[in-house]
């Protein structure tokens, strides 16, 4: 199972076998049940997760009690409540397994320790941050300039696994539209 994580890391940075083994030694494997919560609003994000199998969801709950999904992490993707992870402030987000999942996690302390002992880990972190920044900026732009149909088409083109594997409720939450609107969009296409 660590082969997937090792491959992910080696595709982004150049490390020796010894450095890679050191990095991997800080990751722990955990099995999650569907709907298991890994982080709740108000907790400090102390872990970053790498999905081997399954799916994690990062979401907020607004004052009316409705959730809004920011990110889905499927196989071969990382996920964390990044703002809280960086600032050590309480998180405004929740992290939940939306399927039975198998993930590796690394603690905040271990992640930052790797920055001190393995120079290439800093490059890995920079790539991770850049990817998150671009993804979040594109997502924000879609909310500002696209209508529901354009957002749905973009999702089908860029990340169809979301529509294939997840419930309409979660897809609607991700697109920030109602389930009824999503049903109408699906019937149009």
pLDDT in tens, 74-96: 999 999 999 999 999 999 999 99
Average pLDDT (11-40) is 97
Rounded to two decimals, what is the model's pTM? Answer: 0.92
Q: How far is CA 30 from CA 13, 43, 52, 53, in A?
A: 25, 20, 10, 11
Q: In whole angstroms, give the CA distance from residue 95 to residue 75.
A: 16
Question: In terms of residues, how long is the chain?
Answer: 189
Question: In the chain, pLDDT over 90 holds for what percent of residues?
Answer: 86
* pLDDT of amino acid 143: 84
Q: In whole angstroms, give the CA distance from residue 114 to residue 123.
A: 11
Q: Which residue has the higher pLDDT, 140 or 101?
A: 101
- Contacts for 26 with CB less than 8 Å, ≥ 6 apart: 106, 107, 110, 111, 113, 114
Tell which residue, 70, 31, 74, has the closest CA to residue 166: 74
**CB contact at 8 A, 153 and 45:** no
Indicate the SS3 state at residue 44: strand
Average pLDDT (133-162) is 91
Domain spanning 2-120, CATH architecture: Sandwich (2.60)
Q: How confident is the model at residue 117 (pLDDT cuts 50, 70, 90)?
A: very high
* pLDDT of amino acid 187: 86
* pLDDT of amino acid 189: 76
* pLDDT of amino acid 1: 63
């Amino acid at each position: 199972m660590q082969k997937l994580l090792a491959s992910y890391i080696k595709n982004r940075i150049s490390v020796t076998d010894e450095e890679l083994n050191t990095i991997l030694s800080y990751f722990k494997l955990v099995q999650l049940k569907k709907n298991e919560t890994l982080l709740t609003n108000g907790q400090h994000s102390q872990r970053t997760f790498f999905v081997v199998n399954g799916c994690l969801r990062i979401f907020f709950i607004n004052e009316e009690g409705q959730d809004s999904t920011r990110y889905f992490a499927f196989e071969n993707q990382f996920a964390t409540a990044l703002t809280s992870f960086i600032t050590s402030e309480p998180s405004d987000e929740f992290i939940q397994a939306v399927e039975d999942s198998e993930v590796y996690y690394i603690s905040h302390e271990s992640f930052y320790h790797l920055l001190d002992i393995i120079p290439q880990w800093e490059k890995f972190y920079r790539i991770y941050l850049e990817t998150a920044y671009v993804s979040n900026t594109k997502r924000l732009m879609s909310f500002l300039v696209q209508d529901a149909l354009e957002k749905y088409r973009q999702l089908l083109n860029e990340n169809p696994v979301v529509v294939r594997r997840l419930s309409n409720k979660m897809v609607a939450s991700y697109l920030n539209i109602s389930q009824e609107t999503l049903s109408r969009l699906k019937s149009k296409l």
